[in-house]
Amino acid sequence: MKTDKSSTRFSIVTHGFWKYPIVGLIVILFVVIVGFSVGSPFYPTDTIKSTAVKQPGGTIWAVAQELDGTSASQVNKHEYGMKDPAKTLVLKPIQSASWFLSSQQKQALKTYGAASPAQQKTWAANYDTAIQKTIASKGNSGDGGPTPVPTLSKISSLKGNFGPVPILANAVLKLAQKGYLQTYFQGTSPNHVYQYTNIWLYDEPMMLNTAMKKGLTDDQWGMVKERGFFVGPWYLIVPAIAHVKLPQGSTALGFILWNGVIALFFVVIFPLVPGLRSIPKYLGLYKLIYAVDPNEKKESQGAHGTEVH
């Protein structure tokens, strides 16, 4: 005699709930011990002062690019109240520190302000080009290696039609090394006390080199890694895919739209579409919730072994 499969009885999987607090305490104790022995994945925060002290040549170069309109901060000119990076990151900080400036620096600021926008950009572009020539022999940033950083000694020996740009760049360098520049940005950045600081640091080659070394750039899946530690937030893998691999995912609107589509798929489409919603069943995930009654299994096995005449 065969049993009817449709009459199979199921029972809820029994759990030893009393074990859970004990297991939880063991896990907490384990995490605490590992935390004290391994340490926290903490990496010292870069500051404008430390960056300018370590790589003064990189700061001078960044100022030249901010003035000629080729810096990375150009992409932020319509965000965070940024507007023109040349004014926000270079000219306004210098003007605010008039008490600190030498007579030569004050005159350079007046000369630059009196020049036409075209002349200002020409001076800065000439300076930028000259600086890049000093590092041309050090490496090529296009081959995936670290971005070469100009040395201050070579920059100081440059000659050309730079106008007052070198003097202004040195004024920014001194303000940065004194710690004034970061304090100024924190006081003027609207509703984002660290935003101008971060944008300034992004213009520096030191920040890019650190990101590349730590595997934190977009093409290195930096969104799912922690600086100074190899483990990162795994749950950011999905938005990282949208940001790096999908068309226009690196733009603000594209990133939002793609993540919305992915969320729509998992929250609405996946649970409702026949076939897709049956995947957990095919994977046997239901066994984590209920199982066939053991007594039913015994009866079924006995019935299979019995034949009725």
Domain definitions of the chain by residue range: 48-214, 217-294
Name the stretches of the chain with pLDDT < 50: 1-3, 138-145, 307-309
pLDDT at residue 231 in the model:
54
- Residue 236 carries which DSSP code? G
Tokens of 18: 């009393």
Q: pTM for the full model?
A: 0.65
pLDDT at residue 105 in the model:
95
pLDDT at residue 94 in the model:
96
Decide: residue 304, CB within 10 A, 0-12 exposed, 13-18 middle, 19+ buried.
exposed
Q: Are 243 and 255 in contact (CB under 8 A)?
A: yes
pLDDT at residue 308 in the model:
46
Tokens of 234: 């795994």
pLDDT at residue 208 in the model:
82
**CB-based contacts of 13, cutoff 8 Å, min separation 6:** 287, 288, 289, 290, 291
Rounded Cα distance between 170 and 52, Å, is: 11
- Residue 189 carries which DSSP code? S
Give 183's Cβ-side CA count (13 Å radius): 9
Coil, strand or helix at 71: coil
pLDDT at residue 214 in the model:
73
Whole-number average pLDDT of the chain: 81
pLDDT at residue 132 in the model:
92
Rounded Cα distance between 281 and 284, Å, is: 5
- Residue 82 carries which DSSP code? -
